[in-house]
Structure 1
Amino acid sequence: MTTAESPAAGAARPAGAWALENAVLSAAMVAQRMPWLDAPARALGLDLLTREGVTRSLLDHLRRTRSGAPVRVGTPFGTFLVPLTAADAEELPAAAAAAGVLDPALGLSPGGHRCGLSPHAEWAGEPTRPAAQLDALAAEEAAAVLGARRGDGTLEWAGWRQGMLRLARRVVVGAAAAEDTLLSEVSAAEAAAVGGRGHAARRRALSRRLEPYLTGPEPGGKDGAARPGDPAAVAHALALVSEAVAGPALRAVALLAAGCAGGPEDAVAESLRRYPPVSAVLHPVRAAFVWRGTALEPGTEILCAPGWLPEAAAGGRTERIPLCGAPGPCAAAAFAVQVAEAVVRAVFAVSAPVLLAPQLRPGRLPESLDPRRLLVAVADPAGGAGDGRVARAPQPAVPVSAYGCSPAAYGALARASADRLERHAESLTVCAGNPGWDADGTGERFRTDLLGHAERCAEAAAAVRRSALRLAE
């Protein structure tokens, strides 16, 4: 039975790991800062010798030798109380939170770096929107992001992230906040400051920034899920949705494009399971606490890392969404997943994305997948004829990271370039048909030049498309 009273004299203290066990886990955490270290083991398929394999094997060993009870483990980054089963990892911090002895959760990277997490806050109601409405909003923002891609058809991380943050502000706070980029910056700064002396000031700054959107005649405005009198919940939802639609959603697009997922929902779930934004959470205990006859002292840090537990090696999934550090369910996290799924559906509804780099294979996915280094190419969305304007696209050049890809990947790049050339030829032709060139001979000469450029672009597009077909064979 869990109680919130001071530890009784007879309550047992958590068992501690042996010095060698501490050293092994410490070495595995330090090795996370050197990703090249286990490259030979990965190349040979020796997963047990990788950093993650060593960590999971050690925790499995501790579970067998300590009867599954949580164990105190000492590392250069702190001494942590580590639950060794998925059930304990959910129950222990939840019991401490119910007893009111937990401080705000912190994130812990596999390499031992602490980071702030958006403080959990409950919504007065469910922050959900109809699927059709989410799909419509995601389609608008996805179209803008796809239209701003590079000249070779590849998505740029900065452009993707900017567009997705705009979508997050729109679906959470409302259309009035869509262009408020400072709101996203203040939100990120507030979450990063959790656990530090400046968090209270950052929290007040975020509340001031949100206030105009929450106190108007229509709190939340058009499209938004925000409610009046709930600034903490809105701030939390904004942070989680912003996180979900940036990195995890782009990873999901890459997984689905590579054939490593069965659909948008499965791709988002796989992205969050394999590459969780919050892989490990620290729950600091601020007061004495007894759990199942085990006494936890003030200052204890409960380390919950579901991805490190042996269950994760078997591909098992849990109900916890790795976006929020709360020990229990989080409605804002569930809403963030819905928005990320809508984004993936929107991207695949108007294009057929191709993953150029890195090369992913089903059943053999890498342990890490940096969204900033993903190279995804998309064809032009379906659209109408040109409007007479000549658009100046970015210089079409294959990014450096694309070199070394398969012939099919280069074929996708060539096909995207051919589409751009054809669209440019159409635009030049429409421009040449403008009656403004009829005034004098100079205008006619310009019209002739435009038509000549259009013809050359069309011929180049046909040649590039033949090359693309050859590369795709």
Structure 2
Amino acid sequence: MTEAHGTATTASRPETAWPLENVLFSTALVAQRLPWADLPARALGLDALTREGLTRRLVAHLRGGRDGRPVRLRTPFGTFLVPLTRADAESLLTGADGAGALGTASGLAADGSRYALSPHAAPTGAWDVLTQDERDGLSARVSQHLVRVSGARREDGTLDRDHWQATMLRLSRHVVLGACAIDDTLLSELVTAADAGVGAAAGRTDEARAAAVRWRLAPYVADPEPGSLTARLAARGEGAPETYLSVAHALALVSTAVGTSALHALALLGAGAVASGPDTGASTGGAGAVTPADGAVELALDRYPPLPAVVYPVRAPLEAHGTAVGAGEDILYLPSLLGPRADGGRTDPAWSLCANPSGCAAARFAALVCREVVRGIAADVRPVLLAPRITGDRLPDTLDHRTLVLALAPSPGSGGTPDGSRAPSVADPSTAAPLSGYGARAHGGADRLERHAESLSACAADTGWNGSEAGERFRMVLLEHAERCSRAAADVRRAARWLAG
């Protein structure tokens, strides 16, 4: 039980780790940026020698020597108080938040820099619990955009990540704001920049970005579309300033859940990490029987949260589990280093998407939309994970969604995809040649080269280069570079076809 700082206690101060432990922990943090470093050990089945295996042994050592209490660790990124189990971390943070002892949380990037998170804002009450009619309406909105997913496939059936992201952002704006916001790409860019694109102490720049979001949201909040999440939030907030914060927060979380966690869930389905048979687990809030897609989303949010490392500053002294935590400490919550939950319990989406220790209804709604997306896709096609090559019984502790190469193959007994077209033939990774995954990646590289060539040609066509010898020279340089990119794209495309077999 966490107590306020006014209570007389005999709690001890957190112990500082030994120098060698600090070095090993710092190495574990840095190693998260090098997913390829342990490929030889993983290929040989020597899991104990992978960065994940070594990290688990380090955490077990820290737990054993300190009775499980949080330990203060010095790293190149700062000094942190690190709880050694997920249960301890969440209990400590929830109690501290309830006592008002926490400041504004920030994300910790792989390079050690801190970045701002979407500020938690959601009205109280169970407004995220939908009736059956409301769920049906949500499913209908989601399905309208899933027909575009087939358009995100290349000729070998793999998903184009840029197209996927654009489609999921359209879906997010539709669900949160309504059909009138589907094409408002600027709004998504503003929300992304305001919530996570600047430092945690950006000052005037941060305030200006937040003001731009409010201005862009004003027409949607003033006249909300019936059936949208904004209409429900506006009805509860009655147009108060908090309504804008709640809508922006919901849009940020839904965009992240469907853009990132849905990809992770499809990859887990493709890797066989979730049983394909009937699920006998608990139901999801009255939504009916849990499907493999639901299990994949749950596992994705728990194992690969979009917030992999969060720093919580302590602004007032508190006591937790016999440990006295002083003001000025930074508590680091790092699920990827702490491993899966020991109790096997369900993950509150707030820990994965929002970072608010006391829960977040917007995060629960975002997870609901994510399940609808994965259910809709998995109902018509079979996800196939081409790269990285992982199996359900040997999942990595970290999985960057930007490295995923996913294909959509026809499901048994199904002839196509959500839009009714037939899916391209996709080789199953269990029987495909090892080079097929590289072929899919090469197609992605060729796509990027072609887009770069197009942008260079468009720049060269600008009339601003006219009228001077220097301008014409620059134009020729741009066109020559565009031609080189086009030739390189063609070469890479031919190699990709050969690698894909």
Q: TM-score range by the shorter chain?
A: 0.7 to 0.9
Indicate how the Cα distance of structure 1 residues 254 and 319 shifts in structure 2: closer, same or farther if over 3 A, else same: closer
Residues 189-228 of structure 1 aligned to structure 2 (within 5 Å): 189-192=193-196, 193=198, 195-197=200-202, 198-216=205-223, 219-226=224-231, 227-228=233-234
Is 1:283–1:301's contact at 8 Å kept on the other side of the alignment? yes
Instruction: Give the counterpart letter for 1:137 in structure 2.
Output: R
| 1:13 matched to 2:13 | yes
| 1:372 matched to 2:419 | no
Counterpart CA distance in 2 for 1:112 and 1:44 is 31
Shift of 1:82: 0.9
**Does the residue aligned with 1:323 lie in a helix, a strand or coil?**
helix
Counterpart CA distance in 2 for 1:133 and 1:99 is 39
| 1:239 matched to 2:252 | yes
Unaligned runs of 5+ in 2: 238-242, 276-291, 411-415, 441-499
RMSD of aligned Cα (Å) = 3.2
User: TM-score, normalised on structure 2?
Assistant: 0.71
| 1:309 matched to 2:338 | yes
1:282-333 deviations in whole A, cap 9, x for unaligned? Answer: 1111233344554333321011223322554x69344332112111222111
1:200-236 deviations in whole A, cap 9, x for unaligned? Answer: 33222222221211112xx354433542232222211
Residues 313-332 of structure 1 aligned to structure 2 (within 5 Å): 316-321=344-349, 322-332=352-362
Is 1:278–1:323's contact at 8 Å kept on the other side of the alignment? yes
Counterpart CA distance in 2 for 1:270 and 1:136 is 25
Counterpart CA distance in 1 for 2:108 and 2:123 is 26
Aligned to 2:41: 41
Counterpart CA distance in 2 for 1:317 and 1:113 is 31
1:113-164 deviations in whole A, cap 9, x for unaligned? Answer: 4232211223344234433222211211010221353344332101110010
Shift of 1:99: 2.0
Counterpart CA distance in 2 for 1:62 and 1:79 is 16
Shift of 1:255: 2.3
Report runs of 4+ in structure 1 exceeding 4 Å deviation: 6-11, 382-385, 407-410
Is 1:68–1:84's contact at 8 Å kept on the other side of the alignment? yes
Higher alpha-carbon deviation: 334-343 or 344-353: 344-353
Residue identity (%): 48
Residues 142-161 of structure 1 aligned to structure 2 (within 5 Å): 142-161=146-165
Shift of 1:96: 1.8
Counterpart CA distance in 1 for 2:6 and 2:329 is 14
Indicate how the Cα distance of structure 1 residues 28 and 375 shifts in structure 2: closer, same or farther if over 3 A, else same: closer
**Which residue, 377, 385, 395 being the options, matches 1:355?**
385
User: TM-score, normalised on structure 1?
Assistant: 0.75
Shift of 1:408: 12
Counterpart CA distance in 2 for 1:223 and 1:9 is 50
Counterpart CA distance in 2 for 1:338 and 1:53 is 33
Is 1:167–1:178's contact at 8 Å kept on the other side of the alignment? yes
Indicate how the Cα distance of structure 1 residues 37 and 70 shifts in structure 2: closer, same or farther if over 3 A, else same: same
Shift of 1:7: 8.4
Residues 107-186 of structure 1 aligned to structure 2 (within 5 Å): 107-109=107-109, 112-125=112-125, 126-129=127-130, 130-186=134-190
Tell me the matched-pair count.
Answer: 397
Aligned to 1:340: 370
Indicate how the Cα distance of structure 1 residues 113 and 43 shifts in structure 2: closer, same or farther if over 3 A, else same: farther
Is 1:57–1:310's contact at 8 Å kept on the other side of the alignment? no
Indicate how the Cα distance of structure 1 residues 292 and 247 shifts in structure 2: closer, same or farther if over 3 A, else same: closer
Counterpart CA distance in 2 for 1:251 and 1:27 is 26
Is 2:52–2:396's contact at 8 Å kept on the other side of the alignment? no
Instruction: Give the counterpart letter for 2:311 in structure 1.
Output: L
Residues 352-431 of structure 1 aligned to structure 2 (within 5 Å): 352-378=382-408, 380-381=416-417, 405-406=432-433
